[in-house]
């Protein structure tokens, strides 16, 4: 493997040192996007969980701030949420707006909770997240007797005038409500017999309302993490589309329908930003760009793991029904250093459609047309390849990743070879974002998202190359280079 500096992302958030996993408490206030995250400063493997903290004005340049929440006598600070208490409904902020955070207190053992050490705690900040006070009556929700009771997501539900919390309850999501942000009543649960499950608990729920694009109607989206058996082996994120009345979530689809938010291996614990101003109106989200089976074994030493690039979600009607679509945040285009495009390049079997050299980060947009029985082999960087094939009227994408280090767990779990069927098209558009150790791919205007880490073994200059290995292909190509941001 290379020296770890070659894997430090240019565009993606990563900790200066130590371990990072889930994004927590994403909230916008006073012109700042806050990103809290599961953090262990003492080592670059998972350990006693803190909430790390960073802020940004554009979702791309992040300023590291001191740790927001640290373990105490009650336990560690697992994943959770933050939100603006508008108009001081909680009474904690002397009439001004303040920030509330809910997190899971994860103890070895809580005195009253016997064998069930996970409960929900609250903290608040009157100075835009710079200092936090843990509520002195924590936990605000005691464990009801569940092995897995964690990752609260809280929002204000205006029609009923109460707060709502969705929280992992084993293989289900518990829904609670509160009028004062401190006392919580159980409303309902969702999940039994619904969507994808494995033998472990669902994790990191999110629930939000989103308009159907081009319509006045909206739907509610419930996101949950599946720990070990997602679309690809390991951790992945699924979502449900439905109705929510402040107390109950109803799935619009058949319970057997499984909707994956991403079809790669490194897009987990997705959370969306709270309190984005209405004038902006976007539903912005970020994910942990890793996967539990190998997360602790990635080939960096002083820091480990990064976040995905922030995504904007839209809900669009497709021939399969409503589906969430992704876009990389538009703020990225302000960071382009050099852009170039070429129209209608054509290549036949055995020849190259295009190649470009890149260093640090590259965005590549392709509109490809393939003849029947054709195959395009795209190698964005060493270690990962995409094969796009047309055959029997169907478009197929194969994603192959290699990787070998001195770590046996990495060698066993990191390489992959999987397929995604993309229907009966012969035209496909790709939006690829390449950074020093990741390949993020959006297909068909964000209908599919595929996020994968990659650790090239040669550096620092890479060649992104598209080769036609069968038939014939044509493409419009547009690429944008990034380089180090001015600080």
Nearest of 56, 65, 64, 60 to residue 435 by alpha carbon: 60
> Distance (Å, rounded) from C-alpha 41 to C-alpha 55?
18
Interface with ligand FRU includes 269 (CB under 6 A)? Answer: yes
Q: Which is nearer to ligand FRU, 19 or 124 (CB)?
A: 19
Smaller CB distance to ligand FRU: residue 48 or 246?
48
Number of residues that bind ligand FRU (CB under 6 A): 12
DSSP 310: P
> Binding of ligand FRU at residue 203 (CB under 6 A)?
yes
β pairing state of 50-56 and 62-69: antiparallel
Query: Which one of the listed residues 22, 113, 275, 435 is annotated catalytic?
Result: 22
Q: Which residue is nearest to ligand FRU (CB)?
A: 78
| One character per residue 304-323, x = contact with ligand FRU (rule: CB under 6 A) | --------------------
* Interface residue with ligand FRU, options 151, 262, 360, 440 (CB under 6 A): 151
Instruction: Report, in Å, the least distance between residue 168 CB and ligand FRU.
Output: 6
Question: Could you tell me the smallest distance in angstroms from the CB atom of residue 418 to ligand FRU?
Answer: 21
202 binds ligand FRU (CB under 6 A): no
Residue with smaller CB distance to ligand FRU, 104 or 238: 104
| Alpha carbons 301 and 4: distance in angstroms, whole number | 7
270 near ligand FRU (CB under 6 A) = no
The minimum distance between CB 130 and ligand FRU, in angstroms, equals 23
| Binding test (CB under 6 A) with ligand FRU, winner from 21, 169, 308, 438 | 21
User: Interface with ligand FRU includes 150 (CB under 6 A)?
Assistant: yes
Q: Which of residues 326-385 bind ligand FRU (CB under 6 A)?
A: none
Q: Using CB under 6 A, which of 49, 376, 434, 466 touches ligand FRU?
A: 49
The reply to whether 132 sits near ligand FRU by the rule CB under 6 A is no
Q: How far is the CB of 150 from ligand FRU (least distance, A)?
A: 5
| CB closer to ligand FRU out of 10 and 101 | 101
- Of residues 75 through 114, those in contact with ligand FRU by CB under 6 A are 78-79, 104
| 260 touching ligand FRU, by CB under 6 A | no
Q: What is the 3-state secondary structure (H, E, C) of the chain?
A: CCCHHHHCCCCCCCCCCEEEEEEEEEEEECCEEEEEEEEECCCCCCCCCEEEEEEECCCCCEEEEEEEECCECCEEEEEEEEEEECCCCCCCCCCCCEEEEEEEEECCCCCCCCCCCEEEEEEEECCCCCCCEECCCCCCECCCCCCCEEEEEEEEEHHHCEEEEEEEECCEEEEEEECCCCCCEEEEEECCCCCCCCCCCCEEEEEEEEEECCCCCEEEEEEEEECCECCCEECEEEEEEEEECCCCEEECCCCCCCEECCCCCCCEEEEECECCCCCCCCEEEEEECCCHHHHCCCCCCCEECCECCCEEEEEEEECCEEEEEEEECHHHHHHCCEEEEEEEEEEECCCEEEEEEEECEEEEEEEEEECCCCEEEEEEECCEEEEEEEECCEEEEEEEECCCCCCHHHHHHCCEEEEEECCCCCEEEEEEEEECCEEEEEECCCCEEEEEECCCCCCCEEEEEEEEEECEEEEEEEEEEECCCCC
CB 21 → ligand FRU: shortest distance, Å?
A: 5
The answer to whether residue 22 forms part of the interface with ligand FRU (CB under 6 A) is yes
To the nearest whole angstrom, how small is the minimum distance from the Cβ of residue 228 to ligand FRU? 11
- Note if 22 is an active site residue: yes
Shortest gap between Cβ of 440 and ligand FRU (angstroms)? 19
Q: Which residues make beta-bridge pairs with 203?
A: 225
Pairing of strands 18-29, 303-304: parallel
Question: Residue 228 or 365: which CB sits closer to ligand FRU?
Answer: 228
Q: Of 20 and 181, which CB lies nearer to ligand FRU in the complex structure?
A: 20
Question: Cβ of residue 169: shortest distance to ligand FRU, in angstroms?
Answer: 12
The reply on whether position 289 binds ligand FRU by CB under 6 A is no
Question: What positions carry a catalytic annotation?
Answer: 22
* Binding region for ligand FRU (CB under 6 A): 21-22, 38, 49, 78-79, 104, 150-151, 203-204, 269
């Amino acid at each position: 493997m290379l020296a770890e500096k070659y894997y430090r992302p240019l565009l993606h958030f990563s900790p200066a040192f130590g371990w990072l996993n889930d994004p927590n408490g994403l909230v916008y206030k006073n012109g700042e996007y806050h990103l809290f995250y599961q953090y262990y400063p003492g080592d670059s493997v998972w350990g006693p969980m803190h909430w790390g903290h960073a802020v940004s004005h554009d979702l791309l340049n992040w300023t590291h701030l001191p740790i927001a929440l640290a373990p105490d006598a009650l336990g560690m600070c697992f994943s959770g949420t933050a939100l603006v208490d508008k108009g001081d409904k909680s009474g904690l902020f002397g009439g001004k707006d303040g920030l509330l955070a809910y997190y899971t207190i994860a103890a070895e053992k809580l005195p009253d909770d016997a064998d069930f050490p996970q409960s929900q705690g609250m903290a608040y900040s009157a100075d835009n997240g710079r200092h936090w006070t843990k509520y002195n009556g924590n936990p605000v929700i005691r464990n009801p007797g569940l092995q897995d009771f964690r990752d609260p997501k809280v929002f204000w539900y205006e029609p009923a005038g109460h707060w709502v919390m969705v929280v992992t309850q084993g293989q289900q999501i518990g829904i609670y409500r509160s009028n004062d942000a401190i006392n919580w009543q159980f409303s309902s649960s969702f999940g039994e017999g619904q969507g994808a499950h494995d033998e472990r608990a669902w994790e990191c729920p999110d629930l939000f309302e989103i308009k159907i694009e081009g319509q006045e109607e909206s739907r509610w989206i419930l996101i949950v993490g599946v720990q070990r058996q997602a679309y690809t082996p390991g951790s992945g994120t699924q979502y449900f589309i439905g109705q929510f009345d402040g107390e109950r979530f109803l799935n619009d689809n058949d319970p057997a329908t499984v909707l994956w938010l991403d079809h790669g291996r490194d897009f987990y614990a997705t959370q969306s930003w709270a309190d984005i101003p209405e004038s902006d109106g976007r539903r912005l989200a970020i994910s942990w760009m890793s996967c539990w089976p190998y997360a602790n074994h990635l080939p960096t030493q002083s820091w480990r793991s990064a976040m995905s690039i922030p995504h904007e979600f839209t809900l669009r009607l497709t021939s399969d029904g409503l589906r969430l679509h992704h876009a990389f945040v538009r703020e990225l285009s302000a960071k382009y250093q050099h852009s170039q495009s070429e129209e209608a390049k054509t290549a036949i079997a055995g020849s190259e459609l295009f190649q470009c050299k890149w260093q640090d980060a590259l965005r590549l947009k392709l509109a490809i047309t393939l003849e029947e029985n054709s195959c395009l082999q795209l190698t964005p960087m060493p270690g990962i390849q995409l094969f796009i094939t047309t055959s029997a009227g169907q478009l197929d994408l194969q994603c192959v990743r290699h990787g070998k280090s001195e770590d046996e767990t990495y060698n066993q779990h990191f390489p992959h070879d999987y397929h995604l069927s993309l229907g009966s098209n012969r035209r496909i558009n790709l939006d690829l974002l390449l950074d020093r150790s990741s390949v993020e791919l959006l297909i068909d205007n964000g209908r599919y998202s595929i996020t994968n880490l990659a650790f090239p073994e040669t550096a620092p200059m890479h060649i992104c190359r598209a080769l036609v290995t069968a038939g014939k292909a044509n493409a419009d190509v547009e690429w944008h280079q990034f380089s180090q941001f001015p600080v």
